[in-house]
């Protein structure tokens, strides 16, 4: 009597899993700089160092800095007088450093220089008498910070093409537009096109506001998603750039999931998956990428392939207070 053939289903979970790892991925220059600012502040001042808002949107990073003595707060009113405080990479309204100065707080600004560039553009547009239409996500810290650079009523937020259609500015209103740095490249292009069609005279920034890291990571996902059965994006649910990576993968027709840690992955997700795409948002460290690959290796034989779509060499200077 012949022995029964081995069950294909029973062995399916042992089949090799091809993992396409996107490059670039993970930390960008602005995130590297922000984290280093907190670490150097802790070395210089000793703990505790207060940080207004999460320095970057990643729980692993925040918890690591907490362990070194950083205390994260939402507002300055809980920071003791004279204590050192760091502003997050997302930027803050002008009222925040003004309050810090008024209270004599020793503060360090970790705002990403590419976000600061948008702040300066906003100021210049207002000086020229232009009303700013700002493309961004309501409630995001970067949006709050950018809108806080100009007087109330001088900037109008839009999130969608439909929001543009609802604008009721007179055709001769002097207008300009700026954008959040971590938006979907494709969505933003559609919104800007709608703005320019409705208001042909609207003034745009000299260069695109969406940062190089956001654009590069979205392009990398477009390279891995079409050949993948599932894409995993490592990032926080409040991370704009990470959420956009999920959307980009889904628009390529591929199922995508946002995870913060490898422990969130369920083995059932791999059913029927022969090729998996893997990337990480700009606030997620490489440690978490390796953690995910190790987790996948517990269930399947992993064949890892890195797809490089761009090289990043950007480095931002630290604040003067930390340079000596």
Dig out the tokens for 237 from the structure.
């649910």
CATH 3.40.50.11270, the chain: domain bounds: 29-113
| Run of H or E residues at 276 | strand 275-280
In this predicted structure, the answer to whether residue 164 has a pLDDT above a threshold of 50 is: yes
pLDDT of residue 2: 41
Question: In this structure, how many other beta carbons lie within 10 angstroms of the beta carbon of residue 129?
Answer: 9
Grouping H, G, I as helix, E, B as strand and the rest as coil, residue 98 is: helix
Mean pLDDT of 148-177: 97
Question: Which pTM value belongs to this model?
Answer: 0.91
Band of pLDDT at residue 208, cut at 50, 70 and 90: confident
pLDDT of residue 7: 35
Supply the CATH classification number for the domain 29-113. 3.40.50.11270
Grouping H, G, I as helix, E, B as strand and the rest as coil, residue 8 is: helix
The CATH fold of domain 115-210: Cobalt-precorrin-4 Transmethylase; domain 1 (3.40.1010)
Grouping H, G, I as helix, E, B as strand and the rest as coil, residue 91 is: coil
How many residues are present in the chain? Answer: 324
HSE-up of 2 (CA within 13 Å, CB side)?
3
In this predicted structure, the answer to whether residue 190 has a pLDDT above a threshold of 60 is: yes
- CB-based burial of residue 237 (10 Å sphere; 0-12 exposed, 13-18 middle, 19+ buried)? exposed
> What is the C-alpha to C-alpha distance for residues 155 and 132, in angstroms, rounded to an integer?
5
pLDDT of residue 260: 98
Q: Which CATH number fits domain 16-27+212-308: 3.40.50.2000, 3.40.47.10, 3.30.365.10, 3.40.1010.20?
A: 3.40.1010.20
Is the N-terminal amide bond of 48 cis, ω within 30° of 0? yes
Share of the chain above pLDDT 90, in %: 91
Catalytic residues: 142
> What would the DSSP string read from start to end of 287-324?
HHHHHHHHHHHHHS-EEEEEEE--------PPPGGGT-
pLDDT of residue 321: 87
| Run of H or E residues at 218 | helix 212-224
> Could you report the per-residue pLDDT of 209-232, keeping only the tens digit for each?
999 999 999 999 999 999 999 999
pLDDT of residue 207: 80
> What is the C-alpha to C-alpha distance for residues 69 and 72, in angstroms, rounded to an integer?
10
> Could you report the per-residue pLDDT of 67-94, keeping only the tens digit for each?
999 999 999 999 998 899 999 999 999 9
Average pLDDT, the chain: 94
In this predicted structure, the answer to whether residue 120 has a pLDDT above a threshold of 90 is: yes
């Amino acid at each position: 009597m012949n022995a029964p053939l081995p069950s294909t289903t029973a062995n399916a979970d042992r089949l090799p899993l091809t993992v396409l790892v996107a490059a670039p991925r993970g930390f960008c220059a602005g995130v590297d700089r922000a984290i280093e600012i907190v670490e150097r502040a802790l070395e210089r001042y000793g703990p505790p160092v207060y940080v207004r808002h999460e320095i970057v949107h990643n729980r692993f990073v925040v918890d690591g800095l907490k362990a070194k003595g950083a205390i994260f707060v939402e507002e300055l009113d809980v920071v003791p007088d004279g204590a050192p405080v760091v502003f997050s990479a997302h930027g803050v309204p002008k009222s925040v450093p003004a309050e810090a100065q008024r209270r004599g707080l020793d503060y360090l600004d970790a705002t990403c220089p590419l976000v600061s560039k948008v702040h300066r553009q906003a100021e210049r547009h207002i000086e020229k008498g232009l009303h700013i239409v700002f493309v961004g996500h309501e409630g995001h810290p970067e949006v709050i910070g950018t809108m806080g650079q100009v007087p109330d009523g001088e900037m109008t937020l839009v999130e969608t093409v439909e929001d543009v259609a609802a604008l009721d500015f007179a055709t001769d209103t002097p207008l300009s537009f700026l954008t959040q740095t971590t938006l979907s490249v494709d969505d933003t292009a559609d919104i800007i096109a709608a703005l320019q069609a409705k208001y042909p005279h609207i003034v745009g920034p000299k260069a695109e506001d969406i940062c190089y890291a956001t654009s590069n990571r979205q392009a990398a996902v477009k390279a891995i998603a079409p050949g993948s059965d599932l894409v995993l994006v490592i990032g926080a649910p409040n991370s704009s750039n990470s959420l956009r990576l999920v959307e980009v993968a889904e628009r390529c027709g591929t199922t995508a999931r946002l995870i913060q840690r490898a422990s969130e992955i369920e083995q059932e997700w791999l059913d029927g998956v022969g090729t998996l795409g893997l990337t990480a948002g700009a606030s997620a460290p490489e440690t978490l990428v390796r953690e995910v690959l190790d987790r996948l290796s517990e269930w399947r034989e992993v064949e890892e392939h890195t797809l490089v779509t761009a090289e990043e060499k950007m480095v931002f200077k630290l604040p003067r207070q930390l340079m000596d």
